[in-house]
């Protein structure tokens, strides 16, 4: 009988240790792996990392990290591991764009061309691309060169020259 009590106690202790290990992995190890970039799109935990990545980016963006705000906007736009949310995507992209983040300025122009904000026009799109291009954003320069190709040969030549110098 005494051996059974010891065995039972041993099994209880072993169960507690196993539960503690699972909790540790879920609360400490998995978030670290998700945030380190170790879990890529081909990893089985990729989808489960979505809320962890979202909460991390959200906390950073709310504290003024505009690179995090930009990444959060892309996360919401695509619905990558989190529910797609166009309003949140626009909100965070505008925050990053207002902070003069070149990538955000470029994506804002792309979204404007896609009519995310309603009607689109070159008068709306060109200043956005130009803001990003002035900061050296190569894709913004390429977009401007493409837009100006047929409407303003001098500006087309200017942006082509900037593109060649950028490389």
More confident residue, 7 or 77: 77
Structural domain spans, the chain: 1-99, 102-167
The pTM of the full predicted model, rounded to 2 decimals, is 0.73
More confident residue, 85 or 116: 85
Q: Is the pLDDT reported for residue 106 higher than 90?
A: yes
* Interatomic CA distance for residues 105 and 32, integer angstroms: 30
Q: Is the pLDDT reported for residue 28 higher than 50?
A: no
* Interatomic CA distance for residues 70 and 65, integer angstroms: 9
> How much is the pLDDT for 8?
76
* Interatomic CA distance for residues 52 and 115, integer angstroms: 31
**Are 113 and 144 spatial neighbours (Cβ–Cβ below 8 Å)?**
no
Within 3-140, strands assigned E span: none
């Amino acid at each position: 009988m005494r051996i059974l009590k010891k065995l039972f106690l041993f099994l209880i202790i072993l169960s507690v240790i196993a539960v503690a290990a699972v909790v540790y992995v879920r609360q400490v190890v998995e978030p670290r792996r998700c945030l380190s970039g170790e879990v890529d799109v081909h990893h089985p935990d990729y989808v489960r990392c979505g809320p962890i990545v979202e909460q991390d980016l959200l906390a950073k963006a709310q504290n003024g990290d505009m690179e995090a705000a930009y990444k959060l906007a892309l996360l919401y736009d695509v619905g990558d591991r989190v529910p797609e949310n166009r309003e949140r995507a626009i909100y965070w992209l505008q925050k990053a764009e207002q902070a003069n983040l070149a990538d955000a300025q470029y994506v804002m122009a792309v979204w404007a061309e896609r009519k995310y904000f309603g009607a689109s026009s070159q008068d709306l799109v060109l200043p956005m691309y130009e803001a990003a291009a002035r900061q050296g954003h190569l894709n913004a320069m390429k977009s401007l060169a493409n837009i100006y190709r047929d409407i303003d040969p001098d500006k087309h030549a200017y942006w082509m020259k900037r593109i060649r110098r950028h490389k």
